[in-house]
Amino acid sequence: QVQLVESGGGLVQAGGSLRLSCAASGRTFGTYTMGWVRQAPGKEREFVASISTSGVVTRYADSVKGRFTISRDNAKNTVFLQMNSLKPEDTAVYYCAGDPNRGSFLSHKYNYWGQGTQVTVSS
């Protein structure tokens, strides 16, 4: 079991960048598939990106492909989301999520969630 804590959110102008971090507790982080999911006001949660246990394989939503990069450092129990060329439509609460089930990489179904961090992009 892991506990996840996000950081790095904030207010940024359109075209700017932010880097989100998600620190995980526990000694089994390296066995967890990890992902980022976001939720804008009045909208359902939306898959953003996922990363395999080794960090070699990644997957992105079409809306962020080419602008966002997910990565992880298993030695530091941390997963990152580098967000470039931000747009106002990227405004949302961003959640870090993880699961020991490798199927989560494709299903985007996770059992462990952080508390979320707010990202606001002004036009």
Of the ranges 70-74, 84-88, 99-103, which one carries the lowest mean pLDDT score? Answer: 99-103
Is the separation of the CB atoms in 60 and 84 below 8 Å? no
Given a contact cutoff of 8 angstroms between Cβ atoms, the answer to whether 105 and 71 are in contact is no
- Is residue 108 over pLDDT 90? no
Q: Which residue has the tokens 């980022």?
A: 36
- Tens digits of per-residue pLDDT, 33-60? 999 999 999 999 999 999 999 999 999 9
Predicted pLDDT of residue 26: 81
Give the pLDDT score at 47.
96
Average pLDDT over residues 91-114: 93
